[in-house]
């Protein structure tokens, strides 16, 4: 099982706060020591930092913690390998271009029978069930839409129906983004929270550190954070149910 | 015009040496201040660091300089924008998956009439002539080979013929790799050198620093470096001619 973290915001937002908890969970306070990755969007471009080594002592993780990259859309993942070796090509998030957009994906869980998922437009580079499931989704979308969809929400409903099919193969908790929308799909472990001004103090579960969001943000800021488990003690996170999905557009839930 | 740097080696090799010269050329000793990127392969996986800001004062560049990532295949690029805005999505290298492999590409030069290049399998995310030309190459390859080619060298000859067509649109100096092979194509500015043991001392042109390769490598190491201009004073670089291409396989020239 792996840890997921996603963020969707209406202004470029520093992810360091929520991320520092996740980093400690990678091998130090949790068993997720087989790789770690994070993807930030800046406009249509995105930037990934990945490391197959445990995140709690990773040099790249240190950089991300100390480097305040601001983004509206972020996906991060800490891995405990169950399918595929521990190496860079098997490290989430995975990215593919579709319709001239970067699609970024991370998966938590384990699938059986995934070898039978037919590949076409996109093909896996590594050996994980996760990447193969992602390529299958991209392939289904490419078959359905030769051009970028006009109705994005209808498309995300379609992706949710693909996720329903993947859930039949096992545990499928997923984060997916094109840099504008952030989608999450839950089998058993996913929570989210939307923070709006005025922001109160929130305490990290893994660290003795308190961040006052009022100092970090303006009156109109909306920031949604999605995570395997709640990352803060002082806030009310929404627990997702089996088969449920959410789509956020720049912080606001739209589906 | 932009600066290119590529490396192909038979053992994972530290790129820091050749890279430190290129970094200084980005905005300090040269005019290439509109973005910078480098992609390292580790097996089939690859890792990119990119920054739309000048490389000579980039925090990410500092990390790469101080972080000894060892790789057999590397492509790097410093940009002076002539097509497309200065932002992350227009920053080289560009990457696409084809046949379950990561293909990484960087281009130096300027093309006209590139808007007419037909897109199909791959589509540009940014607005540069460079990325559109790359997508066109990927699309041609996908049309030609539905499966991974059995004869890779024949495929690279085909890519060279595509590059010949792109050269008709302007200046097309290119680096391309799938992590195993590194190809370079020259219109007007590209040099390469293959270093073999015993390695002598070599002095960087841009830095007052001398690296003794004998301390860095073993007897059987082969390292090829490809760059817009020679990066060292004390070595004989091969200048490429217009329309010429080379393909290196783990350091050795194979085409």
Give the C-alpha separation, A70 to A14, whole Å: 5
CB B220 within 8 A of CB B121: no
The pLDDT of residue B31: 63
Q: Is A5 on the interface with B (CB under 8 A)?
A: no
What value does the mean pLDDT of chain B take?
A: 86
What residues contact residue B89 under an 8 Å CB cut-off, 6+ apart?
A42, A43, A44, A45, A102, B125, B126, B127
Quick check: A217 pLDDT over 80? no
**Contact call for A125 and B42, based on CB within 8 A:** no
Give the C-alpha separation, B80 to B91, whole Å: 10
Q: How deeply is B242 buried, as exposed, middle or buried, from its count of CB atoms within 10 A (0-12, 13-18, 19+)?
A: exposed
**Contact call for A125 and B43, based on CB within 8 A:** no
Which one of B2, B135, B186, B246 is the catalytic residue? Answer: B2
CB B128 within 8 A of CB A129: no
Q: Is A46 on the interface with B (CB under 8 A)?
A: yes
Q: Write down the CATH number for the domain with range A3-249.
A: 3.60.20.10
**Contact call for A101 and B125, based on CB within 8 A:** yes
Eight-state DSSP code of residue B95: E
- DSSP of A113-144, one letter per residue? SGGGS--SSS--SS--HHHHHHHHHHHHHHHH
Name the range with the highest mean pLDDT among A8-17, B59-68, B152-161.
B152-161
CB B6 within 8 A of CB B226: yes
Nearest residue in chain B measured CA to CA from A48: B48
Give the C-alpha separation, A88 to A36, whole Å: 9
Contacting residues of B for A44, CB less than 8 Å apart: 89, 125-126
**Contact call for A99 and B123, based on CB within 8 A:** yes
DSSP three-state, residue B83: coil
Give the C-alpha separation, B92 to B50, whole Å: 8
DSSP three-state, residue B138: helix
Quick check: B213 pLDDT over 90? no
Query: Both tokens of residue B11?
Result: 């053992």
- First and final C-alpha spacing in chain B: 26
The pLDDT of residue A83: 79
Q: What is the mean pLDDT of residues A27-37?
A: 71
Q: What is the mean pLDDT of residues A230-238?
A: 86
What residues contact residue B118 under an 8 Å CB cut-off, 6+ apart?
B136, B139
Q: How far is A64 from chain B (nearest CA, A)?
A: 10
The pLDDT of residue B132: 98
Q: Which helix (H) or strand (E) holds A158?
A: helix A152-167
**Domain chopping of chain B, boundaries:** 3-249
Name the range with the highest mean pLDDT among A45-59, B55-69, B105-119.
B105-119
The pLDDT of residue A208: 46
Eight-state DSSP code of residue A93: P
Cα A197 to Cα A10, A180, A203, A219, A222, distances in angstroms = 12, 21, 17, 5, 7
Quick check: A126 pLDDT over 80? yes
Among A209-218, B36-45, B116-125, the least confident range: A209-218
- Grade residue B208 by pLDDT with cuts at 50, 70 and 90: very low
What residues contact residue B110 under an 8 Å CB cut-off, 6+ apart?
B1, B82, B83, B129, B170, B171
Q: How many CB atoms lie within 10 A of CB A81?
A: 17
Give CA torsion, residues A140, A141, A143, A149, to 10 deg. 160
């Amino acid at each position: 099982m792996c840890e997921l973290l996603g963020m969707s915001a209406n202004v470029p937002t520093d992810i360091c706060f929520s991320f520092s908890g996740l980093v400690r969970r990678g091998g130090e306070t949790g068993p997720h020591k087989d790789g770690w990755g994070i993807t930030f969007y800046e406009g249509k471009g995105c930037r990934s930092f990945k490391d197959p080594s445990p995140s709690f002592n990773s040099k790249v993780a240190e950089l991300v913690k100390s480097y305040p990259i601001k983004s509206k859309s972020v996906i991060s993942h800490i891995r405990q390998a169950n399918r595929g070796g521990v190496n860079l090509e098997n490290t989430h998030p995975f990215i593919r271009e579709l319709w001239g957009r970067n699609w970024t994906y991370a998966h938590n869980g384990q699938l059986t029978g995934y070898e039978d998922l037919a590949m076409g437009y996109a093909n896996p580079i590594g050996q994980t069930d996760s990447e193969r499931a992602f390529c299958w989704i991209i392939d289904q979308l490419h078959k359905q839409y030769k051009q970028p969809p006009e109705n994005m929400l209808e498309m995300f409903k379609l992706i949710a129906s693909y996720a329903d099919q993947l859930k039949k193969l096992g545990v499928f908790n997923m984060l997916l983004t094109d840099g504008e929308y952030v989608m999450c799909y839950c089998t058993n472990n996913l929570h989210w929270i939307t923070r709006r001004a005025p922001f109160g103090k929130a305490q990290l579960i893994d660290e003795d550190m308190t961040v006052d969001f009022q100092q970090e943000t303006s009156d109109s800021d909306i920031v949604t954070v999605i995570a395997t488990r709640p990352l803060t003690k002082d806030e009310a996170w929404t627990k997702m149910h089996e088969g449920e999905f959410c789509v956020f557009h720049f912080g606001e839930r739209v589906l």
